Chain A
Amino acid sequence: GAVVSQHPSWVICKSGTSVKIECRSLDFQATTMFWYRQFPKQSLMLMATSNEGSKATYEQGVEKDKFLINHASLTLSTLTVTSAHPEDSSFYICSALQGAGGELFFGEGSRLTVL
């Protein structure tokens, strides 16, 4: 099946720094990607919908200036956590849509720990 890859798979950073997480669709073009956040023992919560060539659509309560999303190509979306704080520590997961109305494929997730 189609493959979606995230990088890095884990990252530890100091409070106040910014961290970029990449989401790539390796064998298909994805005009739409989604970013989720998952806290320990909780479900996946949608943060934003990333559309190639346009601004991301953020879910209610998600700060767009803190979680910058760039979908510059059909195979790459990036999530930048700006001025990270310990409460931003979480598991960030992306998914990519294979064609309009097609199947969603999930990345393996990126664990962020902010000290």
Chain B
Amino acid sequence: GQQLNQSPQSMFIQEGEDVSMNCTSSSIFNTWLWYKQDPGEGPVLLIALYKAGELTSNGRLTAQFGITRKDSFLNISASIPSDVGIYFCAGQGSNFGNEKLTFGTGTRLTIIP
């Protein structure tokens, strides 16, 4: 099945650093979503973006919906230990009722003590 290209694949950072990851697609999506998945659990929604160009924040997280509707980025400021996990972007179809998600390849975030 289709996957979105997400980069970087993994990140090793120190606590307090800022993090940036992005997601690109060859297809247009009407909605972009960012999820975090902890080991052995299902993904949890962090931010949802519904409009091209939209910039949305949720605490230390900021995400933007690209103008072309083919990309999105997620920034995490001042990382803390609980930010460790795998982050997935997801695109949602352009037709009403087509709510299935296409997931990115994931970015694994590790915080170095």
Contact call A34/B101, Cβ cutoff below 8 A: yes
Task: Note all chain B residues with C-beta closer than 8 A to A97.
Answer: 99
Question: A109's closest neighbor in chain B, by CB?
Answer: B42
Alpha-carbon distance A34/B105, docked complex (angstroms): 19
A11 CB within 8 Å of chain B: no
Nearest-neighbour CB distance to chain B for A35, whole angstroms, equals 11
Alpha-carbon distance A4/B101, docked complex (angstroms): 17
Nearest-neighbour CB distance to chain B for A23, whole angstroms, equals 10
Task: Note all chain B residues with C-beta closer than 8 A to A91.
Answer: 40
CB within 8 A of A104: which of B88, B97, B99, B105? B99
The interface bits of chain B over 48-63 (1 if a CB of A lies within 8 angstroms of the residue's CB, else 0) are 1000000000000000
A60 CB within 8 Å of chain B: yes
Alpha-carbon distance A49/B100, docked complex (angstroms): 8
Binds B, one of A40-48, A64-72, A81-89: A40-48
Question: A44's closest neighbor in chain B, by CB?
Answer: B103
A111 CB within 8 Å of chain B: yes
The interface on chain A, measured as residues whose beta carbon lies within 8 A of the other chain's beta carbons, has a size of: 27
Question: A1's closest neighbor in chain B, by CB?
Answer: B45
Q: Which of B18-41 contact A (CB under 8 A)?
A: 35, 40-41
Q: Which of A85-111 contact B (CB under 8 A)?
A: 91, 93, 95, 97, 100-101, 103-104, 106-109, 111
Contact call B1/A46, Cβ cutoff below 8 A: yes
B81 CB within 8 Å of chain A: no
CB within 8 A of A106: which of B1, B43, B104? B43
Task: Note all chain A residues with C-beta closer than 8 A to B35.
Answer: 106
Contact call A101/B41, Cβ cutoff below 8 A: no
Task: Note all chain A residues with C-beta closer than 8 A to B3.
Answer: 43, 45
Task: Note all chain B residues with C-beta closer than 8 A to A107.
Answer: 42
A59 CB within 8 Å of chain B: yes
Q: Which residues of A contact B (CB under 8 A)?
A: 4, 6, 32, 34, 36, 42-46, 49, 59-61, 91, 93, 95, 97, 100-101, 103-104, 106-109, 111
Q: Give 7 closest A-B pairs by Cβ, nearest first.
A: A106-B42, A44-B103, A43-B103, A109-B42, A108-B42, A93-B42, A43-B106
